[in-house]
Structure 1
């Protein structure tokens, strides 16, 4: 294999690795916060200040000072919709003038529906000391573009699944002040692919696929103050350094590129964002509780993807730190029946000129309502409905196949995300023992 072909192979591998890791980290741009059905009903506006196992993901101090035990289990059905349209994407093959990329000019609903389970259990060992475990999937989604889509060179199939195990401990220093800590053990598994252009537009496209997985560890720290009608909470969830081990398979390349068809081992390191969350719950009357929450996401940690041997390079990313704001209410209609509602505004970490079709994210509004009903002293059922509206934005991150080689083929992406929204239906239960 000559040096140009070898460099082209490594460049193609780097391209799919970048897409893969970008997708898994961008999943936090599609960060799945549906880890509590109770919280979903008020647009996640008071979770870090609330108590019980249902708030364990947000704040390990939530289980401090409890009596007995509590288990929660929920499932959310996430149904996203939207169009990813081509505006004028061009491809520039070596020695040729820029030409339209071709293919279907609109991709309808490329993000698949998803079913997201979550659960937690907590138990008080003493009046001051409690332990718990939350099992969540905070970064999981699937996108599917047709082989004939205009976006095929930057996105084809994306499937990411994460499982986060969060063993937690909380201690009530005083009746009003609780601290907590947790370890986040996270497993990620990804399958990602996209098409590769052959040097002649008359030839069928090639294809590359990445498959990989890994276990990684982070931590969460939290505290709560509970005084009369006011509950305050703050928590910090660390960035996690992920290591994805797997393989890249390249096939279907023809002519001078045919020597690149092969499967090689590949590895990449990247960081997910930290989260700093502060929340407030205020019992305004015997029946009405007001909630507020603000989150700072440290997406700046996702500044580069470091690729190991045989690539030994780094790919810069353009993510920014973001904010999320939420407000909501709980209203106790009766001692057994509670209604909820809330609104949340969430910023995207993606920047203009850096947004691609694999994760076509944008700023969003979340409008939610929910309810709880105690069927008995020990069992409560929760339900919630959320409508999420995404802002229309440009998809315009220029990329290149075989970057840095004599056959470099730029893809001048010019697309748009239009009419994107999602409906989330959630149901679950809480059991005390």
Structure 2
């Protein structure tokens, strides 16, 4: 078999490896669960809030702290939903288009999981503070059954990221805080998907891929504030991820059998999006604070996954830029108890006719409620609960196994994401020291 066929196999694996999202909580494969306090108001005022708990969204948030602060939280993400075949077809060499076969409904392919996060900050002077946030902004697991109708694009997928964000912030003027940070991000991905043999009577082959790498980005932000309002603006850069891994191909029979092998040292690069975040917190009364936040995601930078030597090809993805808009409130019920609520709407960066079963993403509404209990003057417990409702959408991408070769096998994916929703429960604590 030619190098071109081998390249197509590897390209398919890498393309699936880094498009991992499915029904994630924020957008595509970004997770926003970086603070229990934020979850309670549906992430509606983080860029304009203060303290270590808001460090991920805006490094300027720690500029005016008067003592050391630490915040830690964990979010249990509990998704539900069905990925349903509505007429997917495959055409093997020399044949006609036939139904894909297998299970026609894959229930709950997005796995449950826990996302931890934490941050610590300390003032060096009354105007300068330093801190570090450790988060997991892109983490995800899916598991389709081996006989699922989606098996040729998605079988088992796992992505874990660790983002380490050392930050510095300065109170330049009584009304102006500024901050900057470096984002050091580690990514580790693994996946598998089925490969069609040339006869429907033969069992499927299998492709397994893994890869990891360290990459850099940056964050900068400002906050303008007075006695009753704070406006925050921040920019989180896009990050070019460069991963190196290995591909194992097995179970191919007949003319394809020569491609059963392990390929080490394969590389790929792709971008995760920049975020432009604008928000505000406005004290309406002594007890009531109103929050608003908008985020622009430059997902169009995720236009392709580029494979390095010896493959030297690119897999088109064609994501589009997207938005999230959120509003919420904090209400101080007493000096020790604060209640929160909020709502967020986010649009998907995936596009119709280019969405596959590995990324059954859609527009969604996120409804949040929570609160804080000040257990002691130096320690507070935060809790938040979110219900995320995803719009039903199509899964309708045209692909081909062994594209551009005499054994090209077109796959016309026709499916739907139905009844998708998620419950997210977040618990955390904040300590002053």
2:367 match: 367
Question: Matches of 2:121 and 2:23 in 1, distance apart?
Answer: 31
Q: Do structure 1's residue 144 and structure 2's residue 143 form an aligned pair?
A: yes
CA contact (8 A) 2:21 2:358 kept: no
Among candidates 12, 20, 23, match of residue 20 of structure 2:
23
Alignment of 1:114-125 (within 5 A): 114-125=113-124
Cα 1:26–1:111 shift into 2, 3 Å: closer
* Cα offsets for 1:332-355 (capped at 9, x unmatched): 000110000000001100000011
- Tell me if structure 1 keeps the 8 A contact 2:357–2:395: yes
Q: Are 1:180 and 1:222, in contact at CA under 8 Å, matched by a contact in 2?
A: yes
Q: Where in structure 2 are the equivalents of 1:396-411 lying within 5 Å?
A: 396-411=396-411
Matched with 1:216 is 215
Instruction: Give 3-state SS (helix, strand or coil) of 2:222's partner.
Output: strand
| Matched residue count | 430
Q: Aligned with 1:208: secondary structure?
A: strand
Summarize the alignment of residues 25-424 of structure 1 with structure 2, pairs less than 5 Å apart: 29-265=28-264, 266-424=266-424
- Asked whether the 8 Å contact 1:5–1:259 carries over to 2, the reply is no
| 1:400 CA displacement | 1.1
Q: Deviations over 1:133-178 (max 9, x none)?
A: 0000000010000001000001000000000000000000012100
User: Are residue 9 (structure 1) and residue 31 (structure 2) matched?
Assistant: no
Q: Is the 8 A contact 2:22 2:359 kept in 1?
A: no
SS at match of 1:72: strand
SS in 1 for 2:33: coil
CA distance in 2, matches of 1:10, 1:381: 52
- The question of whether the paired residues in 2 share the 8 Å contact of 1:65 and 1:175 is answered with no
Gaps of 5+ in 2: none
Distance 2:386 2:23 in 1: 22
Contact preservation (8 Å) 1:304, 1:316: yes
Q: Secondary structure at the match of 1:198?
A: coil
Structure 1, residues 92-127: CA drift from partner, whole Å, max 9, x if none? 111100000000000000000010111000000100
Cα distance in 1, alignment partners of residues 40 and 270 from structure 2: 33
Deviation at 1:21, TM superposition (A): 2.3
Does residue 1:430 correspond to 2:430, yes or no?
yes
Q: 1:86 to 1:405 in 2, by over 3 A?
A: same
- CA deviations over 1:41-69 (Å, ceiling 9, x no partner): 00000000000000000000000011011
CA contact (8 A) 2:246 2:262 kept: yes
Q: Quick check: 398-407 or 145-154, which moved more?
A: 398-407
TM-score by structure 2 length? 0.98
Q: Which stretches of structure 1, 4 residues or longer, exceed 4 Å deviation after superposition?
A: 24-28
Contact 2:58-2:219 at 8 Å conserved across structures: yes
1:26 deviation in Å? Answer: 9.9
Deviation at 1:262, TM superposition (A): 0.5
- Check the 8 A contact 1:6/1:260 in 2, yes or no: no
Counterpart-to-counterpart distance in 2, 1:239 and 1:223: 19
Partner of 1:315, secondary structure, is: strand
* Distance in 2 separating the partners of 1:115 and 1:388: 16
- Quote how far apart the aligned CAs of 1:17 are: 1.1
Contact 1:373 1:380 survives alignment (8 Å): yes
Q: 1:19, CA displacement in angstroms?
A: 1.2
CA distance in 1, matches of 2:225, 2:191: 46
In 1, Cα distance between equivalents of 2:132 and 2:22: 24
Q: Is the 8 A contact 2:22 2:358 kept in 1?
A: no
Any idea what SS the aligned residue of 2:3 has? helix
Residues 185-194 or 306-315, more deviating:
306-315
Q: 1:397 to 1:295 in 2, by over 3 A?
A: same
